[in-house]
Amino acid sequence: MNASKTSNSRMRVTEVEEFLKNPPDGFSVEELSSGHRVHSDPEKSLVLIDDFNSCRREIVFLNSVGRKVKMRNLWEYTSMRKSLLSKRIYLLMSACEENLSVNDKKAANEERVAVLKQFVVSINANDPFIKWQMEKGLDWSISSVAGESYRVDIDLTEIMENWAVKNSSVITDKLTKVQPVWRDASFTLKYYSDALFDFAHWFGFSKRTFCLRLT
Average pLDDT value for residue range 5-27: 90
pTM (predicted TM-score): 0.86
**Is 162 strand, coil or helix?**
helix
Helix (H) or strand (E) holding 63: none
The predicted-structure confidence for 136-190, as pLDDT tens digits, reads as follows 999 988 775 556 788 899 999 999 999 998 888 778 766 566 788 999 999 999 9
The predicted-structure confidence for 86-130, as pLDDT tens digits, reads as follows 999 999 999 998 776 555 555 555 567 788 899 999 999 999 999
Q: Residue 124: name the closest of 83, 92, 162 by CA.
A: 83
Output the CA torsion sign for 76, 78, 79, 81. positive
